[in-house]
Amino acid sequence: MKSGFNIFIVVALLSLISLQAFVVIQNQRMLDEEGIDPDVAERLFKSSNDQISNLIATLKAASDGFQNHQENELIQLERNLTEIVDSHFVKIDLLNDQSADLLDSLLSNAQSGNQVIENLVVTLDDLLKTMGEKINEYPLEKTQFEYKGVYTVRDYDTINTLERDFNSLGKQGWKFGGYAMNDGTNGRVVMFYRPKE
């Protein structure tokens, strides 16, 4: 739109300049051919020249005003675009921060998970070592066991008796194996074992 208006202004100015040249030529012709008083001709020429000059000044002022208006609109448009771009940059920065926080959280969770797995591996490794030591302690193909059953009855005096009897068996190399069977509500048969010599 600005370039169309500028073309209009240029055409109008050229037209006014042509009109001014025409007035000069007509003024000269009136002087030469019609014998008009030179003072009258000069006043007419000056009046038309002033009118044309005023029109040119008005067109220039309109052109300058339009250009200023266009510049102000362009400046406002640039400000609006800058605000939009800055707003998007703020949103992008916020998304980047949220993504970084999420990534940190995921990495932290992954590290925690890795730590749990490492602890589990260490625990399993220790368990396997312990089992290996037990297996090596009594190699199955070479070791035979003997077993001993102890009959126990539940009453108030039995606890001291059980501790004494069980400690005595432990000193002889017997290890607790577990319950073998029940005998009613109060009776239990407890099994012990040890390698045969």
CA distance 188 to 183: 6
pLDDT tens digits, 111-149: 887 787 877 877 887 787 777 666 666 555 667 889 999
Provide the pLDDT for residue 2: 53
The side-by-side arrangement of strands in the sheet containing 187-195 is: 145-153, 187-195, 175-183
**Token reading at 23:** 């007035």
Q: Where are the domains of the chain?
A: 2-97, 140-195
> Which pair of structure tokens corresponds to residue 3?
């370039």
| Alpha-carbon span 186 to 196, nearest angstrom | 31
Q: How many CA atoms lie within 13 A of 66 on its CB side?
A: 15
List CB contacts of 109: < 8 A, sequence separation 6 or more. none
Pairing mode, strands 187-195 and 175-183: antiparallel
Tell me: pLDDT of 45 over 60: yes
What average pLDDT does range 68-88 have in this prediction? Answer: 79
Q: What per-residue confidence (pLDDT) applies to 10?
A: 65
CA–CA dist 72, 2 (Å, integer):
13
User: Residue 174: pLDDT above 80?
Assistant: yes
Q: What is the mean pLDDT of residues 88-113?
A: 79
150 — pLDDT class (breaks 50, 70, 90): confident
Return d(Cα 165, Cα 174) in angstroms, integer: 11
Instruction: Return the bridge partners of 188, or none.
Output: 152, 182
pLDDT score of 54: 73
Written as six digits, the tokens of 19 are 């009109």
